């Protein structure tokens, strides 16, 4: 298992207990999609995601100690 620091931003924080950074354990070789699923975040509400502050896709693999972020679509006019 590896530790990943995860954060869900804005409206996505309603799906998890906290909107602060927290550690999550995932299997080695896991992707951002695996982290997303373990957090219980709905994939259809994800606009973009990052690994260590860099844009990433849900198919990108995470490594031990990575900081990942999930961002929702933003409304406006």
pLDDT tens figures, 22-49 = 899 999 999 999 999 999 999 999 999 9
Domain range for 28 is: 2-72
Question: Which CATH number covers residue 7?
Answer: 3.10.20.30
How far is 72 from 48, CA to CA, in rounded Å?
7
Please count the structural domains in the chain. Answer: 1
Q: Which tokens in the block code for residue 9?
A: 């931003």
77: in domain: no
Residue 23 near residue 3 (C-beta atoms within 8 A): yes
Q: Among 14-18, 29-33, 71-75, name the most confident range.
A: 29-33
Neighbours of 70 (CB within 10 A): 26
């Amino acid at each position: 298992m590896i530790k990943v620091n995860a954060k869900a931003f804005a409206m996505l924080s309603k799906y998890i207990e906290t909107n602060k950074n927290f550690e999550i354990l995932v299997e080695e070789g896991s992707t951002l999609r695996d982290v997303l699923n373990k957090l219980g975040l709905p994939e259809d509400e994800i606009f973009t995601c990052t690994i260590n502050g860099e844009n990433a896709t849900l198919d990108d693999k995470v490594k031990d100690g990575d900081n990942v972020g999930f961002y929702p679509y933003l409304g406006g006019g």
